[in-house]
């Protein structure tokens, strides 16, 4: 790899470290090509990516980035699993590690926060961005659907609802 290619790799890694919500560092010694392709496919399906890079170039790219604390983890055969969603890459890495003993999670970073092995596990158990949005929409939509149901109900139902509200107001 010549100097221009190395500079390009450092720039790409720098973008990854800046824009990712979470970066998980793991050892992958002994994984077959098929297993690595499986990991990449899982990450892609979850909205993340997998990158193998020279540790020396990754450490250069980490310089001055919020997640610079993971530089100590970059030893041996390391692979980076990352995603914009602060949970997706951790879930993918954790699930893959459960099924494959050769994939050993070392730690990672979530923004400026360094994560040890237990931290990655804790992040992987958090709800993803989509799950949070769905639960918030469900909470917001429930009262609206109740009102819509009441408006669409026959007049006798509306009258009984109003009398119940009136009774509660008098009791208070």
Residue spans per domain, the chain:
3-126, 127-171
- Using CA atoms in the order 128, 134, 136, 139, what is the torsion angle rounded to 10 degrees? -140
- pLDDT of residue 123 exceeding 90, the answer is no
pTM: 0.71
pLDDT tens per residue, range 106-116: 999 888 888 88
Helices (H), 46-153: 55-62, 88-99, 117-124, 129-152
Calculate ∠ Cα 96-99-103, nearest 5°: 55
Four-way CATH pick for 3-126: 3.40.140.10, 3.40.640.10, 3.30.70.1730, 3.30.1700.10: 3.30.70.1730
Tokens of 27: 């050892």
pLDDT tens per residue, range 3-38: 888 899 889 988 888 888 889 999 999 899 999 999
């Amino acid at each position: 790899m010549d100097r221009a290619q190395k500079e390009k790799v450092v720039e790409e890694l720098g973008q990854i470290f800046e824009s990712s919500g979470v970066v998980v560092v793991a050892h992958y010694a002994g994984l077959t090509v098929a297993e690595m392709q499986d990991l990449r496919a899982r990450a892609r399906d979850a909205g993340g990516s997998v990158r193998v890079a020279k540790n020396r170039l990754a450490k250069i790219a980490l310089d001055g980035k919020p997640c610079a604390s993971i530089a100590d983890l970059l030893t041996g055969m390391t692979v980076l699993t990352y995603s914009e969603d602060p949970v997706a890459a951790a879930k993918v890495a954790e699930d893959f590690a459960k099924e494959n003993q050769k994939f050993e999670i070392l730690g990672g970073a979530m923004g400026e926060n360094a994560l040890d092995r237990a931290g990655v596990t804790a992040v992987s158990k958090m709800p993803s961005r989509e799950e949070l949005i769905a639960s918030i929409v469900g909470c917001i939509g429930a009262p609206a659907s109740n009102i819509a149901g009441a408006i669409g109900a026959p007049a006798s139902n509306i009258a009984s609802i109003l009398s119940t509200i009136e009774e509660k107001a008098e009791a208070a």
